[in-house]
Amino acid sequence: MSDVTVVTGANSGIGRATAVHLAGRGHDVFGTVRSLDKTAKLLAMAESAGVEVKLVLLDVADDDSVRNGFAEILERAGRVDHLVNNAGVGGNAVTEECPITFYAEVMNVNFYGAVRCIQAVLPQMRLRGKGTIVNVSSVVGRVAALAQQPYVASKWALEGMSEGLAQEVAPFGVRVAIVEPGVTKSAIFAKNVDVPRSDGSYDMHYRRLFQFYAAGIPQATDPFEVGALIHEAITTDEPRLHYPVSWGAQDLINGRQAMSDTEWVALGALRDDADYYDAFERSFGLDIHPAEVADDD
């Protein structure tokens, strides 16, 4: 009997790749989407791989939608063996300029959305004495990215909840895995380019944020690598709690662990961009300097 796996946010990026990859490994995959009108690429990718991803309308940001979506899944499949909480949104802003409503919007998807889905599947996992919950966080859940405060806050919350959840459900035979992607090929970057209007006080911060991604996107990891790691997290006999993956993730985590808090704050205090990029490379081993523009001569 095939394992029943739910992948939220299956319409793009990591979610789409994970749904197709797990279906290819024999899972009975239910991919949740907010709209059936935008599933053409997912369905084409599944068809090309010779697999099926069953679609379920579900918006993780809405209580009733999550309740109804999982009721449909449980009616169709009878159980959920594995939940991959992947649905998420980005969010750029420094603290001073971030409206509370923006924090709330991002938290509602990235954090509350995961909690809603966990609460929907845990009762039957607990009663059956087995199951896996994979929460797709981000490296920014371990290292606070510059000028992405709503996103950082939501992912730190997800990480903390996940660590507590892992202990809570361990007596019931349910496992938790936290997957922490760095820069991965995904449509989220194209959608995540807005910053709050301001008087320019924080232009330096936003400039450095976008320069990090400008350097990382050409080296972004294929989302199917993340899907393969999620499959490993589900099937391994030697489970871990944290799974860093993709460009920059392990480098950033290792670098931050090696830095003192004083060094961390001092990095942010650098006023000159060139000095900042030099110090960033020394600290994390990642070259995010702007590419040099070739002369026309």
pLDDT of residue 187: 66
Does residue 277 carry a catalytic annotation? no
203: buried, middle or exposed (CB in 10 Å: 19+, 13-18, 0-12)?
exposed
Q: Which tokens hold the place of 68?
A: 């109804």
CATH among 3.40.50.720, 3.40.50.1820, 3.30.420.40, 2.60.40.10 for 4-192+220-249: 3.40.50.720
Residue pLDDT tens, the chain, 297 long: 899 999 999 999 999 999 999 999 999 999 999 999 999 999 999 999 999 999 999 999 999 999 999 999 999 999 999 999 999 999 999 999 999 999 999 999 999 999 999 999 999 999 999 999 999 999 999 999 999 999 999 999 999 999 999 999 999 999 999 999 999 997 665 556 578 878 899 999 999 999 999 999 999 999 999 999 999 999 999 999 999 999 999 999 999 999 999 999 999 999 999 999 999 999 999 999 998 754 454
Tell me the pairing of strands 82-85 and 28-33: unpaired
- Count of beta carbons in the 10 Å neighbourhood of residue 119: 13
Amino acid residing at 186: S
Q: How far is Cα 203 from Cα 217, in angstroms, rounded to an integer?
A: 21
Which of 103, 112, 151, 202 is catalytic? The answer is 151
* Token couple for 231: 């499959």
